[in-house]
Structure 1
Amino acid sequence: MVKEIEAREVKKLNSHKPSGRVDEPPAKRVLAIEDIIQSGIVELTPSEAEELSIEAQKRRGIYG
């Protein structure tokens, strides 16, 4: 799920960059998915938002 959203956002970000920048490593081109979401750059469906929230909680050890 995170990878799908990140890929979608990378595609959006890259569409506004000169073609030479597309060859840069992903770490230099893309913010961490949490930063993207917190910045409000990404548009999520309610189900995507819920799924990402659960994934984030699991990573932090506070889910289930």
Structure 2
Amino acid sequence: MSEKTVFAVNDMTCSHCVGTVKRALEEAFPGATVSVDLATHRAEFVGDAAKGAEAIREAGYTPETV
């Protein structure tokens, strides 16, 4: 089982951004619990960090290791 991965995504600025990042991670990790919080600019999920970072980048955002 993979451990929880947390990224800061500081270029999320609105609820649309949150939805886009969340959808990208849910598509990369079907069935995984994904949490994206605009107030803290955090994206959390269980899965491979490199794959998650790539999904966030492909969605147009910049993941940073926390």
- Same fold, TM-score > 0.5, yes or no: no
Which has the greater radius of gyration?
1
Q: Which has the higher strand share?
A: 2
TM-score interval w.r.t. the shorter chain? 0.3 to 0.5
Normalising by structure 2, report the TM-score.
Answer: 0.36
Q: Which gives a bigger RCO, structure 1 or 2 (Cα 8 Å, sep 6+)?
A: 2
Q: Which has the higher helix share?
A: 1
